[in-house]
């Protein structure tokens, strides 16, 4: 029998919730597993959203070091969030808000502020019920208006930071009708030295979960290969789930193939059966099949793109990598990204860059590595190599032009050199009195006006674009006339803020103060990235023609 809802509580009007937990170790890919499941449910006709729970004490991800947590992903409302939200947007094809990222910092801040305001009427404020109630409230509000909400709990079962969240989920399941709730646990299935798939880590992880009062309905085993039948049976026996509720999620060549793997395992069909959605889903013949068509699309050839940055981990530039991949899908080429450490550029920049067909200089903060980025931009300008600069890459293109074309010696960004005689990049006017670093930059979606007849207008096929921002400094208005005295032009602006630059003496030299990579999707590739890859292909075709003429 369905449980009676608590007094004054709206049970969600039949919304379905899938709670995804992880065990054994972090970085297993539970976010990709959850996002892929959501993609398949969306294909079946359901309105799907997601919530990412991050148990850290930070209010948001804005002040985190990329080495520790990967890139800071920016949402349309300016929320600085975990990179998993980027995966959810890319897989589900939806735009989320900061409400879809729950952190311990947000929750405790809210509860403490309410306590200070006297909202608890003299009660002793505690983890239970006040913190857990706030967690549940946030999940329900984020799920409003959708059919299915997937909630991923960051970290692993047993982490002390995650305990209030797991308790909140236990209460959540108690308050909801059983047919509206499903728990999926993603865990590691390693190999022993003799090649045997080992289930003991999974057993211990599920035991820990059950000790908290949560019983998984589904166990997903992450392994190099598909789980063997005997492995599934053993997990089912010791974790108290049916054998057909144990699923494989093996390594695949591309993360965009994970939905295809999950579909082949029938995980989506099992979930719909358990949640009572099967009868409402579209029949297989009518489901949206565009995802499969996109990710399996044939490619002809490969382009090599140098990514010049200072963080030598792919997660620090995840959205840039993915946007390049999306552009490759649209242009039907494989994009091979060559990592170039900007710290080492000054010693061997030409030998490394000569391997590339095009160069991307992404965003970042701090002065380390910027001399190498400037050198890479100079290389592109002087050798007509297709160039795409993003945020700091855009700003360093301005600095390179000021130094090497206008001969403004020691020109720089005031952020990186407070003593520069030519601060061609300076702080935003509204930032002068800012003291806190978190959440105080120019963040989120803003509209840019595009000049008619420009490369930017051709790229966007419009005279306006809306893209996401994350910066505190911008082009100094005092230098704009001088900067535009030659081939460099600012073809996009927002008032007196310069947003897009391009060069009229170059095949493709394009920079943006904003981050177009954050809005790129497999089925909606970012226009600057698509045009960049098109330019690279055009340059390669022209080079082949020249080589053929020389041979003749």
pLDDT digits (tens, 9 = 90+) for 335-378: 999 999 888 876 665 677 999 999 999 998 888 889 999 999 99
Q: Is 536 exposed, middle or buried (0-12, 13-18, 19+ CB in 10 A)?
A: buried
pLDDT at 432 over 80: no
- Enter the pTM of the model: 0.92
Quick one: which of 54, 69, 32 has its CA closest to 154? 54
Strands 464-471 vs 442-450: parallel, antiparallel or unpaired: antiparallel
Do 180 and 237 belong to one domain? yes
Structural domain contains residue 322: yes
Same domain, residue pair 286 and 319: no
Residues 227 and 162 reside in one and the same domain: yes
Task: Write down which residue in 294, 321, 355 finishes a domain.
Answer: 294
Whether 6 is in a domain gets the answer: no
Residues 288 and 310 reside in one and the same domain: no
Predicted confidence (pLDDT) per residue in 69-78, tens digit: 789 999 999 9
Separation of alpha carbons 411 and 489, rounded Å = 18
Catalytic residue among 391, 465, 467, 506: 391
Structural domain range at position 406: 297-443+469-542
Asked which of 243, 261, 294 is the last residue of a domain, the reply is 294
In this structure, are 491 and 353 located in the same domain?
yes
Please indicate, yes or no, whether residues 277 and 330 belong to a single structural domain of this protein.
Answer: no
Phi then psi for residue 426, to 5 deg, are: -135, 170
The confidence score (pLDDT) of residue 347 equals: 66
Q: Which residue has the tokens 């030409």?
A: 350
**Active-site residue, 69 included:** no
Give the confidence band of 538 by pLDDT, cuts at 50, 70, 90: very high
pLDDT digits (tens, 9 = 90+) for 439-477: 578 899 999 999 999 999 999 999 999 999 999 899 999
| Residue of 89, 499, 515, 539 marked catalytic | 515
451 in a structural domain: no
Cis amide prior to 29 (ω within 30 degrees): no
Give the CATH number for residue 302.
Answer: 3.40.50.880
The answer to whether residue 350 is catalytic is: no
Mean pLDDT of 235-258: 95
């Amino acid at each position: 029998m369905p449980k009676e809802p608590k007094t004054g509580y709206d049970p969600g009007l039949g919304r379905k919730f899938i709670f995804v937990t992880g065990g054994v170790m972090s970085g297993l890919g539970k976010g990709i597993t959850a996002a892929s499941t959501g993609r398949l449910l969306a294909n079946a006709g359901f309105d799907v959203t997601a919530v990412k729970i991050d148990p850290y004490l930070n209010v948001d991800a804005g002040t985190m070091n990329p080495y520790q947590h990967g890139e800071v992903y920016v949402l349309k409302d300016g929320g600085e969030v975990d990179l998993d939200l980027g995966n959810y947007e890319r897989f589900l094809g939806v735009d989320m808000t900061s409400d879809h990222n729950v952190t311990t910092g947000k929750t405790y801040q809210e509860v403490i502020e309410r306590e200070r305001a006297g909202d608890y009427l003299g009660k002793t404020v505690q983890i239970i019920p006040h913190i857990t109630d706030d967690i549940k409230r946030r999940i329900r509000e984020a799920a409003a208006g959708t059919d299915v909400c997937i909630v991923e709990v960051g970290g692993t079962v047993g982490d002390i930071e995650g305990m209030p969240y797991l308790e909140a989920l236990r209460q959540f399941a108690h308050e909801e009708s059983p047919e509206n709730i499903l728990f999926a646990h993603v865990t590691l299935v390693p190999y022993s030295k003799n090649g045997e798939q080992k289930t003991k880590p999974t057993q211990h992880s599920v035991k820990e979960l059950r000790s908290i009062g949560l019983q998984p309905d589904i166990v997903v085993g992450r392994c190099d290969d598909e789980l063997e039948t005997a492995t599934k049976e053993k997990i089912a026996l010791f974790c108290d789930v049916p054998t057909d509720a144990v699923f494989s999620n093996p390594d695949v060549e591309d993360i965009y193939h994970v939905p295809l793997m999950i579909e082949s395992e029938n995980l989506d069909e099992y979930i719909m059966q358990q949640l009572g959605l099967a009868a409402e889903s579209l029949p297989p013949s009518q489901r949206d099949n565009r995802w499969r068509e996109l990710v399996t699309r044939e490619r002809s050839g490969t382009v090599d793109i140098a990514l010049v940055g200072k963080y030598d981990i792919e997660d620090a530039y995840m959205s840039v990598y993915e946007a390049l991949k999306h552009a490759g899908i649209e242009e039907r080429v494989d994009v091979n990204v060559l990592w170039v450490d900007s710290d080492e550029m000054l010693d061997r920049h030409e030998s490394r860059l000569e391997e590339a067909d095009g160069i991307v200089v992404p965003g970042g903060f701090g002065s380390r590595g910027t001399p190498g980025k400037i050198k890479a931009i100079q290389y592109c300008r002087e050798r007509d190599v297709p160039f795409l600069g993003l945020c700091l890459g855009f700003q360093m293109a301005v600095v390179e032009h000021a130094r090497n074309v206008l001969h403004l010696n020691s020109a720089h960004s005031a952020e990186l050199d407070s003593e520069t005689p030519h601060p061609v990049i300076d702080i935003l006017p509204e930032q002068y009195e800012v003291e806190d670093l978190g959440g105080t930059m120019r963040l989120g979606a803003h509209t840019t006006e595009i000049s008619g007849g420009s490369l930017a207008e051709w790229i966007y096929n419009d005279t306006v674009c809306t893209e996401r921002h994350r910066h505190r400094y911008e082009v100094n208005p005092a230098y704009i006339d001088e900067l535009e005295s030659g081939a460099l032009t600012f073809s996009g602006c927002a008032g007196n803020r310069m947003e897009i630059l391009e060069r009229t003496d170059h095949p493709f030299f394009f920079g943006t103060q904003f981050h177009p990579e954050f809005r790129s999707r497999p089925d909606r590739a970012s226009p600057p990235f698509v045009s960049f890859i098109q330019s690279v292909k055009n340059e390669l075709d022209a080079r082949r023609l020249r080589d053929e003429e020389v041979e003749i």
